[in-house]
Amino acid sequence: MNWPLIISNTLFTAIGVQAIAFILAAIGVNMHFGYTGLLNFGQAAFAAIGAYTFAILAGTGIPWPGSGDGPGFFENPWPWWAAALAVLPMATFLALLLGVPTLRLRADYLAIVTIAAAEILRQALIAPKLDERFNTGGADGLQGFSSGIEGINPWNGQEFRLWKQPFDGHQAFVILVGWILIAVCSALVWLLMRSPWGRVLKSIREDEDAARSLGKNVFAYKMQSLVIGGIVGALGGMVFAIGGRAAAPNDYSTAFTFFAWTLLILGGAGRIKGPIVGGLIFWLIIGFTEVFLSQATRNALLPGWRVNENNFGLLRFMFVGLGLAALVVFRPQGIFGDRREQAFDVR
Amino acid sequence: MSADVPSAGATPAGGPLAGLAYEPGVKKPDPILIADGLRRSFGGLVAVDVDHVEFQRGCITALIGPNGAGKTTFFNLITGFDRPDAGGWEFDGKPVGKANPYRLARAGMVRTFQLTKSLTRLSVLENMKLGALDQRGESVFAGLIRPMWSQQEKEIEQKADALLERFKLGHMRSEFAGNLSGGQRKLLEMARALMADPKLIMLDEPMAGVNPALTQSLLGHVKDLRAEGRSVIFVEHDMDVVHDISDWVVVMAEGRVLAEGPPASIGANQDVIDAYLGTHHDLDLGAP
Ligand SMILES: Nc1ncnc2c1ncn2[C@@H]1O[C@H](COP(=O)(O)OP(=O)(O)OP(=O)(O)O)[C@@H](O)[C@H]1O
Ligand SMILES: [Mg+2]
C-alpha cells in the first residue's frame, strides 16, 4: 500500500475541479431548496447550459442565421470573457423557461418539470441535428475551447505536485479561480440571506400562504431565487468543462443533480457553509475509497471473488450511500445544520 | 326600508350604525368592504352564497355562524386565497378585479388564519419584521447593500418589539416560532398582521386557544385598533366575546347571510336560534 499516494490523491480530489463544480452546483441548490424550499431536481441542466454556452462560444462561435457567406462576428470563437459572461443570460433564460409555467403550481410540479427538462436537454445535446445547427458536438461533446483560458494562465505548461500527486498548471489555475468563485458566490448568498430579501425567501420556504398574506409577491421571489441559484449552478458546469477541457453530454446526467443534492444534505441545507463542508467531505470519501480500493485490489488485500479492478468503482458509492443513510438517521440536520431547526417539522 | 323591530331589551347599535335596519344585506353609511353575489361551491356543496353584505369602516364586525357555515371560505374569497365561482367585491371604494392576496395585503387588507401559519424556522422577531410592508431591503439588489435598508430595519425592529410587548411575547423574541405554544402562535400571527398597518384586519378565530386572562387584554387590543380608525372583521364562536367588543354582527349559515344587527339583537333572532340549534343545542347565544 502506497499511503503517501493514497493520502495526497485523496486530498487533491477533495479540492479538485470536480469538487469545485459540485460545490457551486450545490450552492445553487441551497439557494433553491435550502432557503426557498424549491425542489429543483434539474441542476444538471443549469450546469450543462453553463458548460455548453462557454464551450460553443469560446470554441467555435455559433452560426448566425442570415449572415450570408463567410464567417461573421458570431461565427468566430468568442473571447473567453465574453463566452463566460454569456453564461449568465443563458442560465437566466433557462430559469424563466422552467419557472414561468411551474412556480405558481404546487412544489412537486417544479421537481417533475426540472428533472424532465434536464434529461431533455441532455438528449438534445446528443442529437446530431442540433450538432449540425449549433456545433454541440453530439455524443462526443466538445473539446479545444479552453485556449483562451490557457492564454491568461500564468502557470500554463508548468507542473505542480501536492506531495505525491502531480498536476499541471491548467488544473492549478482552474482550481484557484474555482475556489475564488466559491468564495464570491458564498459571500453573495450570505449577504442576500441576512437581508430582508432573504427573510422573505425563508418565509416562502416555511409557508408561502403566510408570505402572501403579508403582501409578498411570492412568485417573483421564487423566480429570483431560481435565477440566482441557476446561475451559480451554470458557473459550476462551466468550471467543470474548462477544468476537464471538455464538455460531454453524459457529464450532466441526473447523477450530477443528485451528487449536488447529496453533498448539500451532507453539509446541511440552509447553511452558507453547508455546500462547502459537504462538498469537501463528499469528495474526500469518494477520493479515498477510490484510490484505497484500487490499491487494495491491486495488492490483493481484498477477496478477489468479491472485489476486483472492474467493480471497485461501484463499491465506493455503496460506502457513500451507507454514510448518507447513517447521517439521515443520526444527524438529519446535516453535519452543520442547527438541531433546533430540525426539532419541529413544517406544519 | 322596513326595519325588523328590535327585540325588547336589546341595546340598539350606536355610532355610525345607529338607526340601521337589522336585516341581511343592509346598506352601511361608509362601508370598507362590500360583497356582491359572491358564490363558491365545492362539488355539490355550496360553501358561500352571499347576495349582498357590507362592512362598516372603523367598526368591529363579528362574523358568526355554526361550524361549516362558510365563514372561513368567505374570508378566503375576500382576501384572494380562493376564487369565487361568481360575484365580486369592493374594498375601500375600489372594485377588486384580479384578486391577488399580496396585492390586497398591500392595499391594506391583512388577514390571519384559523389554522395558524407561524413561520416555524424563523425567530419570533423575524416573523414580526416580515409583516412590515414597503421594505427597501426586500428587493434583491438593495438587499445586497446593507446601508440601503439598515435604518428602516431598525425602525421596523422597534415597532416589532413594541407590538411584541403589547402581546406579551417580548420574552420570546429570539425563539424560533416553532417553539411557541398554540395560543402564543395565535398572538404572534395577530401581532404580525398589525406590522402591516392594515386598514382592514380580518381575524379568523383569533381567541381560539388563548387563555381567558389574555383574551381580555387581546380584546383590549382589538378595541384599540378601532380607536386607531382601523376596521376589524373577526370570526368568533364565543358569544361573550362577540357581545363584548363587536359593534355589529353578521350571522352566516349554510353559506348565506342569515341575519345582521347589533350583538344584542342577534340572540333573540328566531332564524339564528334555529340555525344554531340544528347543531348546538346547548349554545348560549347570550339572549337576554
Ligand atoms: N377546500 C375545500 N374543499 C371542499 N370543501 C370545502 C373546502 N373548504 C371548505 N369546504 C366546505 O365548505 C363548508 C364551509 O367551510 P368553512 O371552512 O368556510 O366553514 P366555517 O364557517 O369556517 O366553519 P368553522 O366555524 O368550523 O371554522 C364546509 O362544509 C366545508 O366542508
Ligand atoms: Mg372557519
Assess contact for A253 and A154: CB atoms under 8 A.
Answer: no
Q: How confident is the model at residue A345 (pLDDT cuts 50, 70, 90)?
A: very low
User: Among A242-251, A286-295, B12-21, whose mean pLDDT is lowest?
Assistant: B12-21
User: Among A29-43, A213-227, A312-326, B252-266, whose mean pLDDT is lowest?
Assistant: A312-326
Compute the distance between CA of residue A235 and CA of residue B230 in angstroms, rounded to an integer.
51
The CATH number of B15-98+200-215+229-277 is which of 2.60.120.620, 3.10.300.10, 3.40.50.300, 3.30.1330.60?
3.40.50.300
Q: What is the pLDDT of residues A276-311, one digit of tens each?
A: 999 998 999 888 888 888 888 777 776 666 666 677
Compute the distance between CA of residue B257 and CA of residue B50 in angstroms, rounded to an integer.
6
Q: Which residues pair with B91 in a beta bridge?
A: B33, B94
Compute the distance between CA of residue A230 and CA of residue A99 in angstroms, rounded to an integer.
11
Q: How confident is the model at residue B169 (pLDDT cuts 50, 70, 90)?
A: very high
Q: What is the pLDDT of residues B77-89, one digit of tens each?
A: 999 999 999 999 9
CB contact under 8 A, A203 and B178: no
Reported as half-sphere exposure (CB side, CA atoms, 13 A), residue A302 has a value of 16
Residue B172 has what pLDDT? Answer: 93
Measured at the CA of A84, the angle between CA A11 and CA A261, to 5 degrees, comes to: 45
- Residue A259, number of CB atoms within 10 A of its CB: 22
Nearest ligand for residue B64 CA = 1
For residue A116, is pLDDT > 70?
yes
Residue with the nearest Cα to atom 18 of ligand 1?
Answer: B70
- Give the residue among A257, A259, A260, A271 at the shortest CA–CA distance from A335: A271
For residue B286, is pLDDT > 70?
no
**What value of ipTM does the predicted structure carry?**
0.88
Q: How confident is the model at residue A326 (pLDDT cuts 50, 70, 90)?
A: confident
Q: Which amino acid is at A138?
A: G
Compute the distance between CA of residue A191 and CA of residue A184 in angstroms, rounded to an integer.
11
For residue B4, is pLDDT > 50?
no
- The domain spans of chain A are 3-62+76-341
Among A303-307, B94-98, B266-270, the range of highest mean pLDDT: B94-98
Instruction: Give Cβ neighbours of residue A152 (< 8 Å, ≥ 6 apart).
Output: A80
CB contact under 8 A, A213 and B129: no
Q: How far is A206 from chain B (nearest CA, A)?
A: 5
User: Among A322-326, A328-332, B12-16, B244-248, whose mean pLDDT is lowest?
Assistant: B12-16
Residue with the nearest Cα to atom 27 of ligand 1?
Answer: B67
Residue B267 has what pLDDT? Answer: 77
Q: How far is A217 from chain B (nearest CA, A)?
A: 6
CB contact under 8 A, A197 and B110: no
CATH topology of domain A3-62+76-341: ABC transporter involved in vitamin B12 uptake, BtuC (1.10.3470)
pLDDT average, residue stretch A232-237: 98
The answer to whether A210 faces chain B, any CB pair under 8 Å, is yes
Residue A325 has what pLDDT? Answer: 83
pLDDT average, residue stretch A47-53: 97
- The domain spans of chain B are 15-98+200-215+229-277
Residue B8 has what pLDDT? Answer: 39
Residue B11 has what pLDDT? Answer: 59
Q: How far is A273 from chain B (nearest CA, A)?
A: 18
Among A192, A206, A209, the residue with its CB nearest the CB of B120 is A206
Segment (H or E) for A191: helix A169-193
How far does residue B198's CA lie from ligand 2's centre (Å)? 21
CB contact under 8 A, A344 and B120: yes
pLDDT average, residue stretch A99-106: 88
> Chain A residues with CB inside 8 Å of B111's CB?
213
Among A95-99, B23-27, B266-270, the range of highest mean pLDDT: A95-99
Question: For A214, which residue in chain B has the nearest alpha carbon?
Answer: B131
